[in-house]
Amino acid sequence: KNQVEQSPQSLIILEGKNCTLQCNYTVSPFSNLRWYKQDTGRGPVSLTIMTFSENTKSNGRYTATLDADTKQSSLHITASQLSDSASYICVVSLSGTYKYIFGTGTRLKVLA
């Protein structure tokens, strides 16, 4: 069954600290993996997109990694800010289709 699992479900960190969010997937055949940030009451915003051949991609303080062999991805946030408080969603798309499998997200709260 095609699934995307994210951990932890929620996370609280202090401003300025780093954190890492995890995404494990069983989607096959794999096309690409995306990370989105969703603020409360808003639509998701794309952070990174990685294809099979890419194992890291950065967007400012956000760095995503992909291990296609173990089917794992992580999103590392450096020097967190209050504005990083949001849900982070991992999405995997199936090769040969237009289907996207979404994770349930990790809710991050950054405290001052």
Partner 1 sequence: ETGVTQTPRHLVMGMTNKKSLKCEQHLGHNAMYWYKQSAKKPLELMFVYNFKEQTENNSVPSRFSPECPNSSHLFLHLHTLQPEDSALYLCASSQENLRTDTQYFGPGTRLTVL
Residues that bind partner 1 (CB under 8 A): 4, 31-32, 41-46, 49, 51, 89, 91, 93, 95, 98-105
Min dist. Cβ of residue 79 to partner 1 (A)? 25
Q: How many helices (H) and strands (E) does the chain have?
A: 0, 11
Q: Rounded to an integer, what is the distance from CA 32 to the centroid of its chain?
A: 12
Question: Which one, 15 or 94, has the nearer CB to partner 1?
Answer: 94
Residue 67 Cβ, how far from partner 1 at the closest point, in Å?
19
Minimum distance, C-beta of residue 1 to partner 1, in the bound complex (Å) = 13
